Amino acid sequence: MNKVTVLVGLQWGDEGKGKIVDILSPYYDVVARYQGGANAGHTIVFNNKKYVLHLIPSGIFTEKIKCVIGNGTVIDLEALNEEIDIVKEENIDISSRLLISGNAHVILKYHKIVDAINESKSNKIGTTKKGIGPCYFDKYARRGIKIQDIAFGVGLLEKISDNLENLRRIFPESYELKELSPEMIYEELLNQFSKVKNLVSDTHIFLNNMIKGNKNILLEGAQGALLDVDFGTYPFITSSHPTAGGASIGTGIPVNKINSVVGIFKAYLTRVGEGPFPTELFDINGKIMSERGNEFGATTGRHRRCGWLDLVALKYTVLVNGVTDLVITKSDVLDVFDEINVCTGYDYKGNIISEFPTNPKLLSDIKPVYKVLKGWKLSLNEIKESSDLPDNFKSYLSFIEDYLEVKIKYISTGPSREEIIINP
């Protein structure tokens, strides 16, 4: 049977999805993005160069694979064109390899302005300011602009004009909105669109035809399950569905065609932006993780908050995503610790909770309960076989597998393609 796999981040994003998609790509014929936009930053090391992809699926560096930007994504055409130019420098023939859904919505200048206005307020979310939330807002308010609307053009300028007018009424103090002209947005949009119009198609039909033809498809999630609109730490979330369920809606692949879910998690935990984070560290241990893990956002360069692995949160995301296989990344960052903590419960006013509460207030009030495991104090970087892994590291993996009741299939021990161990 052909494989249709969703690859999903199980934490607050930045789990290392880009590298894992790149590694798994040779086993697939198509890689498709199903949600989010240029807020994602998937890092791949290719030909000894580091690339950060925001919109193009991470399978693009594997020859022969088709890459799809699905209907559930939101596309900043300017950012996409810049990225296409970068990828083309590697002599990758985008024209035959990249497909863009006509049903995806476009991010316009005013979305980014509104994102920035919202972020200037005291109750900010800590977004990437890429216009993601305001674009999805328009989509669900039924006034968004789809890629195919640009192709057909009819009523486009009027729509842009109405939307801008509406925003000026909501944010009368915004000088930037006042300065924007609908004609300018329109012209720029047509110009940016002209560079990609040959890539636009009904990707839901393409993907379903690939399934009929017995091809393997990898659905690449962006962000992470704890940022999902429904399952994340609302309101400190992104505005889409990174969870596996989002993959069906965001591509048009029926749910009963998806047959595996690979969940990725980092050996510790990070978060960018605001919101509760029970195991966050403010001491030297957090600093060590931040430095050894180079924990700065691939999209915004912001410092990522660091903390111990939270198994309560992970068990919850394993559950809501139906994870069939696990991948652990950045294990080597923990090489130097004498002891490693993993959170196995939450103490709420003296009661131990073992289910993840999505209420941000409750999540801010609880205290993590830790199981302390022995560190392995050896470099994992050079190890190629699972049998050579240090015993304390093996115990650490077994503890996680037993808690989550899912097998860890891959162990990533560094940024490059080669630094991966298959756990038999």
Q: How many whole angstroms separate alpha carbon 211 and alpha carbon 376? A: 44
Structure tokens at 313: 């949160």
> Closest CB to ligand IMP among 17 and 97?
17
CB of 84 to ligand IMP, least distance (A): 20
Hey, is 8 helix, strand or coil?
Answer: strand
Task: Tell me if 58 sits within 8 A of 18, measured CB to CB.
Answer: yes
CB of 321 to ligand IMP, least distance (A): 17
347 is catalytic: no
Q: How many whole angstroms separate alpha carbon 204 and alpha carbon 208? A: 6
> Closest CB to ligand IMP among 268 and 337?
268
Contacts of 49 (CB under 8 A, 6+ apart): none
Q: DSSP string of 273-291?
A: SSS--TTB--SHHHHHHHH
Q: How many whole angstroms separate alpha carbon 304 and alpha carbon 106? A: 28
CB of 151 to ligand IMP, least distance (A): 26
> Closest CB to ligand IMP among 182 and 273?
273
Task: Tell me if 223 sits within 8 A of 136, measured CB to CB.
Answer: no
* Marked catalytic residue, from 14, 76, 310, 332: 14
Q: How many whole angstroms separate alpha carbon 74 and alpha carbon 234? A: 20
* Marked catalytic residue, from 22, 29, 42, 332: 42
CB of 332 to ligand IMP, least distance (A): 20
CB of 129 to ligand IMP, least distance (A): 7
42 is catalytic: yes
What residue ranges bind ligand IMP (CB under 6 A)? Answer: 12-14, 39-41, 125-128, 130, 132-133, 222-223, 227, 236, 238-239, 272-273
> Closest CB to ligand IMP among 121 and 349?
121
Q: How many whole angstroms separate alpha carbon 383 and alpha carbon 388? A: 7
> Closest CB to ligand IMP among 60 and 272?
272
Could you tell me where the DSSP H helices lie in 67-202?
A: 77-88, 94-97, 109-119, 132-140, 147-152, 156-170, 175-179, 182-194
Q: How many whole angstroms separate alpha carbon 38 and alpha carbon 90? A: 21
CB of 135 to ligand IMP, least distance (A): 9
> Closest CB to ligand IMP among 227 and 408?
227
Q: How many whole angstroms separate alpha carbon 321 and alpha carbon 224? A: 11
Q: Which residues are catalytic?
A: 14, 42
